[in-house]
Structure 1
Amino acid sequence: MKNTLLFVLTGLPAVHLTAQERPAPDTAVTLQTVTVKAYEQNRQLKEVSGAINYIGKPQLERFSNTSLLPALNTTPGVHMEERSPGSFRLNVRGSTLRSPFGVRNIKVYWNNIPFTDPGGNTYLNQLSYYNINSIEVIKGPAGSLYGAGTGGAVLLNSQPDQWTKGADAGYILGSYNLNSLYAQVRLGGEDNHNSFGYTHQTSDGYRDHTQTRRDVATWETQLRINERQSLQASVLYGDLYYQTPGGLTKTEYNNNPRGARPNADALKAGIYQQTFLAGLSHQYRITDKLDNNSVVYGAFSIIKNPTFRNYEKRTEPHFGGRTVFNWLHAFEATQLKLSWGAEAQRGFFNTKTFQNKQGNPDSVLTDDDINNWLYSVFAQASVQLPGNWNLDAGISFNKSSITITRLSVPSFVPVNRTYSNEWAPRVALSKKIIPQLLIYASVAKGFSPPTTQEVLPSTSVISTGLNPEQGINYEAGIKSSWLQQRLYVEVNVFDYRLKNAIVQRRDASNADYFVNAGSTKQFGIESQAYYQLLPGRHGFISGAKVWVSHTWSRFKYDEFKQGATDFSGKQLPSVAPHIVAAGLDLTTRPGIYANLTWYYSDPIALNDANTEKASAYQLSGGRLGWRTRLAKGLMADFFAGADNLFDVRYSLGNDINAAAGRYFNAAAGANYFGGIILKYNK
């Protein structure tokens, strides 16, 4: 394994074909065609001065078409985890340190709509695979334009680059009684069109007590008012249910990895989650140099969660908006782009906890009203200078507040905490040495207040004394393309110093709570490469591409003492020191294709003391298929594949610092899938 890592770090330090447009048959597409929206750049990925992972349709379609997880995990610096089917966590450079479940410390947008609620939580599991057409992951502090968050930002887009009238339908079946049905109808024309979609997915799961069901319905519409204005609306309703088997001890995991924690069935442990979201976006080209994009939204979530220790019910209505102005002007050999705007969100949450009586709410334990709000104002200047230099400088001001009123306690005085006066600047400088090589360096400050569920964790103890995280990230990298753009190589190095890091703890009843962990030192190297083996499009094989990605993380506590225990110098739990992913993609002129993937992870520390670790593991899988034209305008994709082909036992989504050593959530063994996708374009 050491020889493999040495090769990745020195000979071919970079990744795969994550950033490419969807190719037409027999068409070789290179990374350089990709335009990313991150930091309001709207520039080719190879020219953006930042560490951004782009995942387009080709990479999403390399797997089973049922989850975003495998595609995200082939990119460097990003690790998506699944504790049980439907329970996702997203780790960007160690951000899951404070996430027992869900997505925290990362700001997520869907079609420019803030998908992260004002309490700082993101229900990413509410989106189905088919609600995403492309993903941009901004790694490291992105607060200069995207508000508070030390982990980064994720921009999700559901719309293809070119809209076409027609319909899609698909059906997938697989191991553990997996069934997935998808349908979409697209009506209208280029200036006024509508898309209606529906997804239904069920599975019994690999472990006991891991059944899941997800139904998602969407309506998206776009109206071109005139040459300068357009409106876009996105509406989503999701209904999700999944069972939670609970973490296993090492003995339970070794004896029966498919088992559930005792009493999981009796207590009916699980998540019932319903979300409605509606957003309206207005694009307005005010002048030839000035434009504006504004969005307003409203959302409402209902979550019921019978657990091993209580029954929780949350209602979370919230609303908000975001506006961004862009002004572009050229001065001979210099080009200046100014971006500025604001974002605000307000939530009116209520959380009730009950005793769990065989999966039903019993007597009330706590009843809390939670009002939270946040706003951010931001500005950025991007200057393209003579000599192929580019300078980006941005800054934001952030303020947030949370007020908790415990209705179950008579004469309770509301508890309030305001996090304010937090500036989040970012400066990046890049230079194109030659047309094929860009170097860049950046420095950014991150700020992240505690989320609602960290201030009010499952212990039900109000923790307004928890302080925000703050940190500074120093980064440098190269982006390059060689051999007539057949080889793309990208490497970035970062050094992130975080203060008041928020970490998860669990008490004797396995309820989570959070503490500030002093400071951390997070040093890492992320690399990726993609090589197109065949320069032409002749012969039976029309395309052959190899790719590899590598993540090296040296994340340690700098100063962290809990009582008499000193964790200083210990490895941060939840982060593997080395992760490698590699693959081969083949396409043929008759439409037959193959996508092969290999993945390796180092051992992962499971607690702050590093006394327990999850074992290293290697995974292999692939997808074989045939894309063909059935009739005029009608394309079909027949495919089958396998994940974890050699039936490796591993834990994906470990419970960090778990009480009684219940760290392990076993992932599925060898599993298989097959399906058909029909696409009709009129």
Structure 2
Amino acid sequence: MTATGAPRQPTVASGLRVGVGWLAAALVPAPAAAQQAPTTLERVQVIATRTAQAGAAVPASVSVVEGADLRADSLGASLSEKLATVPGLLARNRQNFAQDEQLSIRGFGTRSSFGIRGVRLFVDGIPATMPDGQGQVSHFNLATADRIEVLRGPFSALYGNASGGVLQLFTADGQAPGSLGLALVGGSFGQRRASVDAQGAHDRFDYNLGLSHFVTDGYREHSRARRTSLNGKANVAFGEASGLTLLVNALDAPDTRDPQGLTRAQFVADPRQAGAGAQAFNTRKSVAQQQLGAVLEHPLRDGGQLRVLAYGGRRHVTQFLSIPLATQRNPLSGGGVIDLRAPYAGIDARWSRQASLLERPVEWVVGLNFDAQRQQRRGYENFVGDMLGVRGALRLQQNDRVTAFDQYAQATWRPADAWSLMAGVRRSAVAFRSRDAYITAANPDDSGRVRHTATSPVFGASVRVRPAMHAYAAYGHGFETPTFNELGYRSDGGSGLNFGLRPARTRSGELGLKLDRADGLRSELALFRADTRDELTVATSAGGRSTFQNAGRARRVGAEWSASVPLSPQWHASLALTYVDARYRDGFLACSRTPCAVANTPVPAGARIPGVPRASAYAALRWRGEVGWHARVDGQSVGAVTVNNFGDERANAYTVFGASGGYGFRAARNEGRVFLGVGNLFDRRYAGSVIVNESNRRYYESAPGRHVVAGVELRWRD
């Protein structure tokens, strides 16, 4: 019997052997393929470091997901479907649309039980991570996406608070001739997606507008969801080199059911069941979000360019939790229903200029950034009399505000044709303020404020060691403040926010090699280490509350390797391998059972940071025929993970495989394709994600067994 009680699965070591075997098979034919008349492919250009550069020359780990990987034969409703090819990034579909997906980069971000922390998120430059470091990807519209860029390592710090890594989604520009697209996709567990998009370009104007509607009955009980997403982008060019980009995004996800995590015994007995509290209190979440943005780019007389991005939006969240009635008898309880109205806005202004230094080209970027979010937070009891799962009496009312005001500068200098040096610094100030409007004799005024500052320098160098190979090194400082949710309760049991929490501060470095050949062969190897002080983790859990603490020092050391190998005009292989050893370097006290009002159980120095697999691997083999047929097989292996600070339980390693295929056609004025995909081919039982340090030991979130998806995509052109 395994740690979760499930049947024994293939280990990550066996998965790595499979992946290495596939890589060897892919590389052996490479010389023969090179003897053919090669097709010269466009070199990958990235803007993850704010200036467009050839990806191989950037002294940082940057991965781009586009083309066939972005348009893979899948449901197209989850970001995690698209990111398996990125090394160092662990993206997990929780099969729980009420709690968003799990994203972590090099071991940063795993402590999040809902939402995304430790990773900065952007859509067309607009932050999807709020100033306190809390982010979400539920409004990411994949139907209109052009590419996704993932930045890892030291240069992530140039994006400010909570930059363990940076993930950016970019909407495609409109193209001429104009076209109308339709996609209908369905699959197991009542999953259905319908998407329509319109795009076009004329003279100095182009547009791309897409609408998607997704519905699922859910793999697990009590996990029904529906989501409607709108995303639009329009570009207007004026003058000789000026342009204005207008952005619109909206999300409506009402009454999404939350099945909650499962204990080990529940997972073994029936991985599709929902938690008892989920059924009793009808746990659910409704989200509505609307945002607008604009980007102005304008050349200046000194040869520089001014770029100004401004955005604003509003997010409304209503969530029904399973907090027991007895817990809410505490006069300090905030109840079991959250009503959160959160308007947000921001601006990013930067000046860039290309000049020369010692007669060699240099590019400067100087900018400032201001982001603000207000939270009108209300808490209610989740019962009325004997009726559970309904909004009851008011128990919490507070108005919160968090702002981030940052200034940054960076420069890229090429002292020789083969060399590229990049340096930058960011000064950040993140301010939290809470005003309590629910004050009684037993619940005092909890108002307060705190301000954190940090200076984050980074430096990197890249050198071309061979015509298609670059070596690079980078080093930098970063920081991560606690979010408002982590500040929510004090570990001493008193009222008010836990303003004694300090930001986690990290020093990280990496060394790497990049291969980028004209025939499309690309590979990247990176070795990294990140040392953190004041690591944030759970302190106590009682009465439906989790409090957080600074746990001293932590270290994450690892390696990443990825390869994209064109074997022939019809065959292509991809591989991504990751190794991460993430550990606490100092011991601390935590709670091993609930209720626990005082941390009293030692976590020894050297304990593994929960939620971080030591090794993971992904491999895919893609075939495209000459008459429109295409097929793909892939496999993913993820190592075992501890689920809490004590390491007394873990989710097992797993290896799963998938396959898909389809047929595409093109006529004079229309095109389309049909496809069929099968996931988890061998019907393995495993926990696809875990809720780290869940206070009731409901750590496990089940992944689906064998499942099928089929779809049709059509496009009509003018």
| TM interval, short-chain normalised | over 0.9
Change in Cα spacing, 1:576 to 1:50, as seen in structure 2 (3 Å) is same
1:132 Cα shift? 2.7
AA of the residue aligned to 1:61: R
SS in 2 for 1:665: strand
1:385 Cα shift? 1.4
AA of the residue aligned to 2:296: H
Deviations along 1:132-159, one digit per CA (max 9) or x if unpaired, are 3211111134455312224121221012
Counterparts of 1:273-422 in structure 2 under 5 Å?
Answer: 273-287=287-301, 289-309=303-323, 310-330=336-356, 334-357=360-383, 358-410=388-440, 412=445, 414-420=447-453, 422=454
Q: For 2:581, which of 549, 554, 573 is the aligned residue?
A: 554
2-side partners of 1:552 and 1:601: how far apart? 10
Specify the alignment match of 2:459 in structure 1.
Answer: 427
Q: For 1:607, which of 627, 644, 668 is the aligned residue?
A: 644
1:245 aligns with 2:259: yes
Specify the alignment match of 1:660 in structure 2.
Answer: 696
Deviations along 1:372-405, one digit per CA (max 9) or x if unpaired, are 1111100001101115111101001000111111
Change in Cα spacing, 1:280 to 1:667, as seen in structure 2 (3 Å) is same
Deviations along 1:321-355, one digit per CA (max 9) or x if unpaired, are 10121111246862100111011012221111111
Specify the alignment match of 1:533 in structure 2.
Answer: 567
Deviations along 1:45-81, one digit per CA (max 9) or x if unpaired, are 1111101121113212223123221221231100112
1-side partners of 2:214 and 2:39: how far apart? 33
SS in 2 for 1:251: helix
SS in 1 for 2:421: strand
1-side partners of 2:260 and 2:498: how far apart? 25
Counterparts of 1:474-623 in structure 2 under 5 Å?
Answer: 474-481=509-516, 485-504=519-538, 507-534=541-568, 542-562=569-589, 563=600, 565-623=602-660
Q: For 2:45, which of 14, 35, 38 is the aligned residue?
A: 35
Counterparts of 1:3-152 in structure 2 under 5 Å?
Answer: 5=16, 30=41, 33-64=43-74, 65-86=76-97, 87-142=100-155, 144-152=157-165
1-side partners of 2:196 and 2:38: how far apart? 27
Is the Cα contact below 8 Å between 1:13 and 1:490 reproduced in 2? no
349-358 vs 599-608, greater mean Cα deviation: 349-358
253-262 vs 360-369, greater mean Cα deviation: 360-369
Change in Cα spacing, 1:477 to 1:669, as seen in structure 2 (3 Å) is same
SS in 2 for 1:46: helix
AA of the residue aligned to 1:70: E
563-572 vs 318-327, greater mean Cα deviation: 563-572
1-side partners of 2:359 and 2:632: how far apart? 44
1:644 Cα shift? 1.0
1:560 Cα shift? 3.0
2-side partners of 1:681 and 1:253: how far apart? 50
1:221 aligns with 2:234: yes
AA of the residue aligned to 1:649: R
605-614 vs 112-121, greater mean Cα deviation: 112-121
Deviations along 1:463-522, one digit per CA (max 9) or x if unpaired, are 11111010100110000145x635322100001001111124562445433221211110
Is the Cα contact below 8 Å between 1:236 and 1:277 reproduced in 2? yes
1:102 Cα shift? 0.8
2-side partners of 1:505 and 1:305: how far apart? 24
Specify the alignment match of 1:537 in structure 2.
Answer: none
Specify the alignment match of 2:500 in structure 1.
Answer: 465
1:596 Cα shift? 1.2
Is the Cα contact below 8 Å between 2:552 and 2:586 reproduced in 1? yes
Is the Cα contact below 8 Å between 1:100 and 1:504 reproduced in 2? no
1:264 Cα shift? 1.3
311-320 vs 411-420, greater mean Cα deviation: 411-420
2-side partners of 1:671 and 1:506: how far apart? 39
Deviations along 1:508-540, one digit per CA (max 9) or x if unpaired, are 445433221211110010101121111xxxxxx
1-side partners of 2:70 and 2:270: how far apart? 32
Is the Cα contact below 8 Å between 1:619 and 1:648 reproduced in 2? yes
Specify the alignment match of 1:271 in structure 2.
Answer: 285
1:306 Cα shift? 0.2
Task: Give 5+ residue unaligned stretches, structure 1.
Answer: 17-25, 535-541
1-side partners of 2:602 and 2:293: how far apart? 48
Specify the alignment match of 1:538 in structure 2.
Answer: none
1:232 aligns with 2:245: yes
SS in 2 for 1:205: coil
Is the Cα contact below 8 Å between 1:41 and 1:48 reproduced in 2? no
Is the Cα contact below 8 Å between 2:153 and 2:509 reproduced in 1? no
1:3 Cα shift? 6.7
AA of the residue aligned to 1:37: I
1:85 Cα shift? 3.4
Specify the alignment match of 2:673 in structure 1.
Answer: 637
218-227 vs 647-656, greater mean Cα deviation: 218-227
Deviations along 1:93-142, one digit per CA (max 9) or x if unpaired, are 11223311111122222111222222322221122322432111111344
Change in Cα spacing, 1:49 to 1:515, as seen in structure 2 (3 Å) is same
AA of the residue aligned to 2:56: K
Task: Give 5+ residue unaligned stretches, structure 2.
Answer: 1-11, 28-36, 324-335, 590-599
Change in Cα spacing, 1:469 to 1:63, as seen in structure 2 (3 Å) is farther
2-side partners of 1:243 and 1:15: how far apart? 44
Is the Cα contact below 8 Å between 1:641 and 1:674 reproduced in 2? yes
2-side partners of 1:10 and 1:219: how far apart? 43
Counterparts of 1:121-200 in structure 2 under 5 Å?
Answer: 121-142=134-155, 144-160=157-173, 164-200=177-213
2-side partners of 1:208 and 1:438: how far apart? 50
2-side partners of 1:449 and 1:560: how far apart? 21
Is the Cα contact below 8 Å between 2:470 and 2:515 reproduced in 1? yes
1-side partners of 2:358 and 2:250: how far apart? 50
Specify the alignment match of 1:22 in structure 2.
Answer: none
2-side partners of 1:504 and 1:88: how far apart? 20
1-side partners of 2:203 and 2:664: how far apart? 26
61-70 vs 501-510, greater mean Cα deviation: 501-510
Is the Cα contact below 8 Å between 2:111 and 2:611 reproduced in 1? no
1:287 Cα shift? 4.2
SS in 2 for 1:360: coil
SS in 2 for 1:661: coil
Deviations along 1:552-585, one digit per CA (max 9) or x if unpaired, are 0111110131155133101110010010000101
Is the Cα contact below 8 Å between 1:506 and 1:658 reproduced in 2? no
Specify the alignment match of 1:19 in structure 2.
Answer: none
1:263 Cα shift? 3.2
AA of the residue aligned to 2:351: F
SS in 2 for 1:83: coil
SS in 1 for 2:281: coil
- Tell me how large the CA RMSD over aligned residues is: 2.5
2-side partners of 1:374 and 1:230: how far apart? 27
Change in Cα spacing, 1:287 to 1:55, as seen in structure 2 (3 Å) is farther
AA of the residue aligned to 2:278: A
Change in Cα spacing, 1:444 to 1:10, as seen in structure 2 (3 Å) is farther
